[in-house]
Amino acid sequence: MTRAPSAQETSGRAGGSADAEHAPGGSADAEHSAGTEHVAGRPAGAEHAAGGGSGRLLGIGAAAQRLGVSERALRYYQQIGLIVPASTTPGGLRRYSESDVARVERIMELKTLLGLNLDEVALVLRNEDRVAQIRQTYQDERTTAEERRQLTRECLTLQEDLRATVEAKRAALDRFLADLDARITRARALLAGQRTPQR
């Protein structure tokens, strides 16, 4: 299999070819099961995996306040590899970019909207990061037709894996709802049987 260029190799390439519209996971494909990238707050490409992005940087306290999470949560997300602050001061203070903030918003969305645990969140983020890299490489005018076919196959596999993760979560929720419905039915029947006869 032809090796797909890495994110670093593709970062300096021109990506404005006519193939951009049809790139796997791009344009019309950008809206995935949990929403569009700009709604979800997930920056595209490899830059957010390393805390990329430009603009004013936030200290950990300001970032935590803006996101509505604790500083401890941000430290933990970094510890388990979900985020990497844009920079660290010589004194060891973390600094967060807009891309970092968007990344945490994406983590929170996956946890609250889909009910994913952090291991599942990590899987989704890794897949989405790779899909963004694939899209960037696919759009490069120097990428051959065979390389694009290989990239498309990889993208398809990643998307199928993501769907399987969400489907498993949905199945678990369906079972939980079915159990709740059964309990509600039994409680209602019990109440109906305990009604005081009218005189």
Catalogue the E-assigned strands of the chain. Answer: 58-59, 87-88, 94-96
Number of H helices, E strands in the chain: 7, 3
Please say whether the dihedral angle defined by the alpha carbons of residues 5, 118, 94 and 96, taken in this order, is positive or negative.
positive
- Give residue 34's pLDDT: 33
CATH architecture of structural domain 18-193: Orthogonal Bundle (1.10)
- Give residue 23's pLDDT: 62
Torsion of CA 10, 37, 86, 57, to 10 degrees: 130
- Give residue 25's pLDDT: 64
Please give the backbone phi and psi of residue 95, each rounded to the nearest 5 degrees, phi first.
-130, 130
- Give residue 193's pLDDT: 85
Which letter does DSSP use for residue 1 in this model? -
Q: Give the Cα separation of 32 and 26 in Å (integer).
A: 10
- Of 105, 110, 113, the residue nearest 66 (C-alpha): 105
- Give residue 29's pLDDT: 40
Q: Give the Cα separation of 141 and 162 in Å (integer).
A: 28
- Give residue 57's pLDDT: 93
Please list the rounded mean pLDDT of every run of 10 residues in the chain (199 residues): 44 42 52 32 42 74 95 95 93 94 95 88 92 95 96 95 89 94 95 73
- Of 135, 134, 109, 131, the residue nearest 120 (C-alpha): 109
The two three-digit tokens of residue 112, written as one number: 């609250």
Q: In the chain, what are the domain boundaries?
A: 18-193
Q: Give the Cα separation of 104 and 67 in Å (integer).
A: 8
The two three-digit tokens of residue 100, written as one number: 């970092």
Q: Give the Cα separation of 38 and 31 in Å (integer).
A: 9
Strand partners, 96: 58
Q: What is the pTM of this model?
A: 0.63
Q: In what order do the strands lie in the sheet with 58-59?
A: 58-59, 94-96, 87-88
